[in-house]
Amino acid sequence: MTGEDRTALYRLFDESGHLLYVGVTAHPQNRWKTHRTESSWWDEVRLREIEWLPSRVDALIQEAAEIAARRPRYNKHPGRSTPSAGETRSVKHQAKLGEVPRARPSGATEQELAEFDRRVEAKLRGPEPVVDGLPGPAERAAIRQAARWKQSDVAELLQVHRLTVSAWEQGKSEPRGESRKRYIYLLDKLKARADGAPQPDAGA
C-alpha cells in the first residue's frame, strides 16, 4: 500500500457542534467546491474535520459505521447506497446491536466492494483482538477523567471535534490512522500521570 491509497474521512459540523455530514474523498479541497455548488446545506458548515486513513476501503468502512451510529443530519442513507440483497433488519436496529452496517458504499470499484464485504463479514463474526494498546471505550473515559482532562482538552490536542472524542468514549466510532496512534500515546501519558499522582494521606 502506498501513500497514494490514503483517503480522507471528513466530518462537517454546524456552529453548535452538531454533525451534519460524513463523507470520504482523496481530495478534500475539490470536495468542498462540489459541496459548495451542490449541497443546499453548505452554508451551515462551520467546522471541517479530516481524518486520513490508509486506504479507501478503510475510509468507506469507517464512513458506513459512523453514519449508522452517529446519524449525521444530511447523510440520507447508511453508506450512501442501497442495502445488500437479503438484508431484513434496519440499520438503526443494527446500530443498537453494535453491528457493522451492511450497506455497500456506492462509487467503489468491484475490488473495493469485495474487500469491503470481506472485512464487514469478519467484523460481524466477532471483534478483532486489540493489538495496538488502545483501551476500550469505558476505560478511555476513565483515564481522561482520572487525569482531570475534559473531552475538549483531548479534542484540541488531537485536532478533532469534541463530539468525536465523545463518540470514541461511547464506542460509537473508533479512531483510525494517525489519530489512533496519537490517541493511544495521549492515553498512555494521561494514565501514567494519574498513576504517579500523589495519593492523599490516609490519616488526613
Residues 6+ away with beta carbon under 8 Å from 154: 144, 165, 183, 186
The domains of the chain, with CATH numbers, are 3-125 (3.40.1440.10), 137-195 (1.10.260)
How much is the pLDDT for 106? 55
- What string of pLDDT tens digits covers the 204 residues of the chain? 455 688 999 999 999 889 999 999 999 999 999 999 999 999 999 999 999 998 888 888 888 888 888 899 999 754 444 334 333 343 334 433 344 444 555 556 777 767 777 766 665 555 554 457 899 999 999 999 999 999 999 999 998 889 899 999 998 888 888 888 899 999 999 988 877 655 444 443
How much is the pLDDT for 50? 92
How much is the pLDDT for 173? 86
Rounded CA separation 107/180 (Å) = 26
As a dihedral over the C-alpha atoms of residue 132, residue 68, residue 64, residue 66, rounded to 10 degrees, the angle is: -50
Name which of 190, 185, 182 is nearest 142 in CA terms.
Answer: 190
State the pTM of this model. Answer: 0.53
Burial track 161-192 (b if 16+ CB lie within 10 A, e otherwise): bbbbbbbbbeebbebbbebbebbbebbeebbe
Q: Which cell numbers in the block locate residue 188?
A: 498512555
